[in-house]
Structure 1
Amino acid sequence: MTAALKDVRAVVVDEPGVHRLVTLPRSSPGPGEVRVAVHAAGICASDRELYDGTRPAAYVRYPVTPGHEWSGTVEAVGEGVDPQLTGRKTVAEGFRACLRCDRCREGATSLCTGGYEETGFTRPGAFADSVVLPARLLHLLPDSADLRAAALLEPAAVVAAAVLAAEPRPGERIAVVGAGTLGLLAVQLLAAYSPTRLTAVDPRRPRAEHALSMGATHARTPDEGGVDPAVAAGGYDLVVETAGAPSTAHDACLLARRGGRVVLTGMFEPGAQGIDPVHLSVSQLTVRSVFGASSAAWSFAVRTFGEGLLDPAPLITHELPLSSFGEAVGLVGSGDPTVGKVLLRP
């Protein structure tokens, strides 16, 4: 084997605002581990937070190779791992749940109390030629899977967790607040439940209208409440919030009918507007929140992707090489409404 085959490239963020592209010896997977050749890795707002230094200290460990949204092909297995995994297309969970605490043992692995560890934040991630991780985290894909689109299965798993929590029913009126990556994926999954009305709400009209091609029946901006009678009456059976903006948790609750359901999926920052407890109580709303995705949600997302009910490919707008990590992060934080999902391609 040549020296070039032994080495891999990886983006390393040494501290906020400081990154470099390094060449390292290719790691061998240990017992219970696999090494996956990365096909594509997505950049999201949490990667921007990691780079800017605004991610809470408990959820990042510098220096680190980011990259928690990715797809690839198993290229080597460690001791105790089925060798037939080699060559399989795959994605993998990011959370390194302990599998021993009460929450894990009841199946809620995203609520693990054993301590936070996650690929791309506290463990080396996929902004690299390859990534090594426990084989138990893999979710295998069909041989025909589009690995470019599969790189978005991590945010799709978060959305799947929200949909499972929401328990949508055929014929309901549903609103999705936010038409970013999470919102557009939510629209696709919720459309499969045959709602009578599926409205995407986003202040960026082009983004809201993009949801119409994903299965939404209506698109609107927050200041157009009078256009939609269901909104004007606070008439949605289910509202799925995906934006994480300062007012969207509060606004999502106002869109729900009395006795309706609200699922909060966006990542809120300190100082976000709170939910009015009087409205919550009087309207008897059921409010759930989602942080990350359990193994069950991952399985749901991968299954819907494999069966063609979920197609993340139209969300991808930019693809750059590893050497352009700085440019890619800049795109994600630019505020340009034409920027959708940005991929790094090793």
Structure 2
Amino acid sequence: MSRAVVVERPGRHRLVRRGTPVPGPGEVLVRVAAAGICASDRELYEGRRDAAYVRYPVTPGHEWAGTVVAVGDGVDTGLVGRRTVAEGFRSCGVCERCRCGETSLCSGGYAETGFTEPGAFADHLTVPARLLHPLADDADLRAAALLEPAAVVAAAARAARPRPGERIAVVGAGTLGMLAVQLLAASTPAVLAVVEPRAARGERARAFGATAALSPEEAKAARGGFDLVVETAGAPASAASSCLLARRGGRVVLTGMFAPGAVGIDPVHLSLSQLELRSVFGASSAAWSDAVRAFGAGLLDPGALVTHEFPLEDFGAAVALAGDGDPRTGKVLLRP
């Protein structure tokens, strides 16, 4: 038997018990070790996610790590027993964007584990074997559950092209922001500042390599002072304020998920400052590979961000805690 959390519709969930899923051709069956809850999972549960990006009823869970326990037809049996993570986007692999390596821009239609396909808030899940990124035999699966947001940060780093000695600002010190600090610190910047209204989180970022922690008010005095700005907060004004932090000719990468009504970026400032502006939604296969390599090399320490762990039975309490705004709440995990 296998258990799974099913969100039947916004605000309503139940824990179901059913037969263990069977992997189909080209698929693997994974026993989930840990799965992270993020803001988008809370949006799904509360019914605030764009209808084009969710399909009810659904088992959420797109941030996870586990162990392969069975394979379907056509899949290498050597994968059985391997610790692994997997890409969330079910890219088609054959469209023009996929063939160019831009799998997060797949034009074959949106499908993603945990939103339109059964996710990891369960004892087991099945995923296409081609999406796997196997880990080392001794990999910490609790920490590896955060490799999905780490892959988003790796995608931002690919777009940002950090160079040694640059002045870098990271806006926001949530999960994405802390992972961004860790990854960007490896590029040996001259300055790596975090902009965060919650002082405790800003100070904690120093332990991961930040050289300064600025409040939004303090950041105003540093406008125009950064070669690269990586926005991770998704707050209503953070896209616009991130552009003001960058120097003329600087680079800005947006990774936060913005809600309707967010403050727009000033097109006059954008034009006159000749800023290079990129956005990131999800991660390509290449960015996933970058994140897994960085994790294996010890450049990322995602496990340090975990503050709470719950069993599947306590999904309701876990999703209420995640994103509650308490600065003491870091990453929340479900542990089947």
Whole-angstrom distance in 2 between the partners of 1:125 and 1:232: 42
What secondary structure, in the 3-state scheme, does the structure 1 residue paired with 2:151 have? helix
Among 175, 180, 184, which residue is 2:178 paired with?
184
**1:214 partner SS:** coil
1:51: Cα distance to partner? 0.1
The aligned residue for residue 53 of structure 1 is 47
Letter in 2 for 1:43: I
AA aligned opposite 1:216: A
The aligned runs of 1:58-137 (5 Å cut-off) are 58-137=52-131
Q: CA separation in 2, counterparts of 1:166 and 1:30?
A: 39
Give 5+ residue unaligned stretches, structure 2.
none
Counterpart residue number, 1:287? 277
Superposition deviation, residue 27 in structure 1: 1.2
**Structure 1 vs Structure 2 CA RMSD:** 0.8
1:316 aligns with 2:310: no
Residue type at the aligned position of 2:298: G
* TM-score under structure 2 length normalisation: 0.99
| Aligned with 2:141 (options 129, 136, 147) | 147
> Are 2:174 and 1:174 equivalent residues in the alignment?
no
- The count of residues paired between Structure 1 and Structure 2 equals 336
Q: TM-score, normalised by structure 1?
A: 0.96
Q: Determine if contact 2:38/2:323 at 8 Å carries over to the other structure.
A: no
Percentage of matched positions with identical amino acids: 73
Which structure 1 residue ranges, 4+ long, deviate > 3 Å from structure 2? none
Structure-2 residue corresponding to 1:273:
263
* Residue 45 of structure 1: how far off its partner (Å): 0.2
Distance 2:301 2:328 in 1: 19
- Kindly tell me: are residues 191 and 333 of structure 1, through their superposed partners in 2, closer, same or farther at Cα, counting changes over 3 Å? closer
Tell me if 1:263 matches 2:253: yes
Matched, 1:301 2:291: yes
Q: How many Å apart are 1:233 and its aligned residue?
A: 4.6
2:329 is aligned with 1:339: yes
CA deviations over 1:262-318 (Å, ceiling 9, x no partner): 000000011100110110011110000000000000000000000111110110000
Partner of 1:193 in structure 2? 187
CA distance in 2, matches of 1:139, 1:158: 15
> Which whole-Å deviations, capped at 9, do the CAs of 1:232-270 have from their partners, x for residues lacking one?
351100000000000000000000001100000000011
Once the two structures are TM-superposed, the CA of residue 334 in structure 1 deviates from its matched residue by 1.7
The CA distance in 2 between the partners of 1:199 and 1:223, in whole Å, is 14
